[in-house]
């Protein structure tokens, strides 16, 4: 098992139907309302699928920003798009079939040339993307059912 270097917890409370209030472990972080898309939810907030796409896009963007600064390129107007395909798996259950991330650093041609070196390594430093690609171990316990 790998060494734990940090740990945090978030909590979720059902507001109504499929809408939840997410509370983070730092008072400086605002609560977040999440919801499923219709027909289950009302789109009252981002769905878990949308949050995963945002997490991947955000982590890759931050990793590129960090790597670019190490290479002497300051990006100040980066834009990223994460495109998600929802598919039906073997049992006809909805799954994320793929996510394509397009990052537009919007820099000069000279700086674009300087970005070629960090281009080869920045993805490896993206905690979220590399964890998703490798597969994350998720342990699920249901209180009252699983001895809790």
Q: Are strands 32-34 and 79-88 parallel, antiparallel or unpaired?
A: unpaired
φ and ψ at residue 14, rounded to 5 degrees: -65, 130
Catalogue the E-assigned strands of 24-78: 32-34
pLDDT reported for residue 148: 64
pTM of the model: 0.91
pLDDT reported for residue 81: 96
Reported as half-sphere exposure (CB side, CA atoms, 13 A), residue 60 has a value of 25
pLDDT reported for residue 71: 87
Please, what is the average pLDDT of the chain? 93
Cα separation, 104 vs 79, in Å, equals 5
Task: Inform me whether the pLDDT recorded for 116 exceeds 90.
Answer: no
């Amino acid at each position: 098992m790998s060494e734990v270097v940090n740990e945090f917890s978030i909590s979720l409370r059902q507001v109504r139907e499929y809408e939840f209030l997410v509370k983070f472990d730092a008072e400086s972080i605002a609560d977040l309302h999440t919801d499923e898309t219709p027909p289950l939810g009302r789109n009252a907030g981002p769905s878990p699928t949308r949050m995963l796409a945002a997490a991947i896009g955000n982590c890759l963007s931050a990793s590129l920003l960090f790597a670019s600064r190490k290479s002497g390129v300051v990006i100040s107007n980066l834009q990223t798009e994460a495109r998600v395909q929802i598919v039906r798996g073997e049992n006809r259950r909805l799954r994320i079939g793929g996510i394509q991330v397009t990052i537009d650093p919007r820099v000069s041609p000279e700086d674009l040339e300087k970005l070629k070196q960090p281009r080869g390594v920045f993805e490896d430093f993206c905690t979220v993307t590399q964890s998703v690609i490798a597969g994350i171990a998720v342990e699920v316990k249901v209180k009252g059912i699983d001895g809790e």
